[in-house]
Amino acid sequence: MAPDNMIEASGLTKRYGDTQALAGVDFVVPAGTILGVLGPNGAGKTTAVRILTTLASPDSGRGTVAGFDVVTQAADVRRCMGVAAQDATLDGALTGRQNLVLIGELSRMGRSAAKKRADDLLERFNLTDAADRIMKGYSGGMRRRLDLAASTMTRPSVLFLDEPTTGLDPVSRQRMWEVIRELVSDGVTLLLTTQYLDEADTLADNIVVIDHGRVIAEGTPRQLKEASKSARLEVTLSFPADGAVAALQPLVAGRVLVSADGQHLSAAIDSGSGLATAVVRALDAAGIVVDNIEIRQPSLDDVFFSLTGNAPDDADDERPLTVDDLPNELEGVSA
């Protein structure tokens, strides 16, 4: 009964005054997968989510959720999705538990079923201790977990999370990621927007990159990285050697760059296949001693930069952590 694609957007456009927020966006999210919608602030991510969650109507194009049209069958869409978005918040003057029960009641679960489900979720999201405190006093991480719990009250088959970790400290982000992974292992279809490359890389099965209201790239995290063709060779020498550049240059695609201390060399490469062996042989033949050879696959950061021409974070000063702060994290996760 469930359609193959639980979320579909085709040709979505939306204009707010002079701003073309969406200029024709297409993507699909197959059942049981996570789509990461990646883009800088103002790229149109939130607008796309608002249309798909029935909060805004598109000027043209069509969206479906669980097979239902988001404009003509909005009531059906609302029955099968859960939404946690920064601009659609819970009630700060209610306690965590009251918020969950209210969302459950308004989702027509019935009061007793809502209470029971709220208890389960408060425990599952590690909020039992704070359950009867007013939400205004929650930390950012607790608030987001409560938001996520609220969006799963009815066990929806489709979830929309709009920037679920923006503004969180690193520890809270890691916890959010764990919770999100757990949800998806239960078979939920998830659309997640984010400005964080590492987040999309870690969580998403597929990524679409949106900029200026258009999809400018899509694919798996791996495909996107390969498409950017910016793999680099990095060589560390035991001590500076004059012949090193000459020995490496025939093996690489770009110009060989040398660090100030003369020990670190790097260059763009076309293919990593067999390259390490060739590099060692060439340097050994020139009598140069090598400490380390690394072939660095492009990070999504590089991809993003090459696609949008701007760093993803330069619009948002509130970011607690940038990919640049953790230069090695991507390699570890995406291997």
Partner 1 sequence: MTTLSLPSLAPIRPSVLERISGPVRDVWSLTRRNLVHVRREPMQLSDVTIQPVLFTLLFIYVFGSGIPIVGGYKNFALAGLLTLNLTTSTMGTAVGLSTDLHEGVIDRFRTLPMWRAAILVGRSISDVLSAAVCVTIVALTGLAIGWRPDASIPSVIGGFGLALLFSYCLSWASACVGLTSKGPESAQSFGFLVLFPMAFISNSLVPTQGMPGWLQAIADWNPVSAVTAGARHMFGNPNPSATVHAWPMQHPVEASLLWSLVFLVVFAPLASYLFRRATSE
Min dist. Cβ of residue 32 to partner 1 (A): 10
Q: Determine whether 1 is exposed, middle or buried from the number of CB atoms within 10 Å of its CB (0-12, 13-18, 19+).
A: exposed
CB closer to partner 1, 134 vs 293: 134
Is residue 120 part of the contact set for partner 1 (CB under 8 A)? Answer: yes
Which residues lie below 8 Å from residue 179, measured CB to CB, with a gap of 6+?
A: 125, 145, 148
- Residue 27 or residue 160: which is nearer to partner 1 going by CB? 160
Is 17 near partner 1 (CB under 8 A)? no
**By CB under 8 A, residue 143 contacts partner 1:** no
284 binds partner 1 (CB under 8 A): no
Which tokens sit at 180?
């999100």
Residues between 99 and 118 that touch partner 1 (CB under 8 A): 102-109, 113, 117
CB of 122 to partner 1, least distance (A): 12
Contact 77, 66 (CB under 8 A): yes
Q: How many CB atoms lie within 10 A of CB 271?
A: 10
264 contacts 258 by C-beta, under 8 angstroms: yes
User: Is the Cβ of residue 41 or residue 297 nearer to partner 1 in the bound state?
Assistant: 41
> How far is the C-alpha of 210 from the C-alpha of 37, rounded, in Å?
7
> DSSP states of 241-301 as a string?
-TTHHHHHGGG-SSPPEE-TTS-EEEEE-S--TTHHHHHHHHHHHTT--EEEEEEEPPPHH
State the minimum distance, in angstroms, from the CB of residue 315 to partner 1.
Answer: 21
Contacting residues for 45 by C-beta, under 8 A, at least 6 apart? 37, 38, 39, 162, 163, 193, 210
* 54 burial level (CB within 10 Å; 0-12, 13-18, 19+): buried
**What Rg value do the Cα atoms of the chain yield, rounded?**
24
Residue 93 or 260 with smaller CB distance to partner 1: 93
Stretch binding partner 1 (CB under 8 A), from 78-86, 201-209, 241-249, 253-261: 78-86
Among 48, 127, 183, 244, binds partner 1 (CB under 8 A): 183
CB of 13 to partner 1, least distance (A): 13
State both tokens at 229. Answer: 């063709």
CA distances from 126 to 89, 108, 144, 172, 183 (A): 20, 25, 12, 12, 14
Minimum CB separation of residue 6 from partner 1 in Å reads 13
| Contact code string over 231-270 relative to partner 1, x by CB under 8 A | ----------------------------------------
Question: How many residues contact partner 1, by CB under 8 A?
Answer: 50
The one among 152, 172, 193, 266 contacting partner 1 by CB under 8 A? 152
Q: Which one among 18, 186, 242, 261 touches partner 1, defined by CB under 8 A?
A: 186
> Cα(77)–Cα(295) distance, rounded to whole angstroms?
47
CA distance 290 to 210: 42
3-state DSSP call for residue 68? Answer: strand
Q: Which stretch binds partner 1 (CB under 8 A): 149-157, 226-234, 273-281, 320-328?
A: 149-157
**123 vs 325, beta carbon nearer partner 1:** 123
Task: For residue 168, give Cα distances in angstroms to 131, 145, 171, 313.
Answer: 20, 11, 8, 14
Residue type, 20: Q
If one asks whether residue 153 binds partner 1 (CB under 8 A), the answer comes out as yes
41 binding partner 1? (CB under 8 A): no
56 lies in the binding site for partner 1 (CB under 8 A): yes
75 sits near partner 1 (criterion: CB under 8 A): yes
> Which residue stretch of 35-43, 152-160, 244-252, 300-308 sits at the interface with partner 1 (rule: CB under 8 A)?
152-160
Q: Contact positions toward partner 1, by CB under 8 A?
A: 14, 16, 50, 53-57, 75, 78-81, 83, 85-94, 98, 102-109, 113, 117, 120, 123-124, 134, 150, 152-157, 183, 186-188
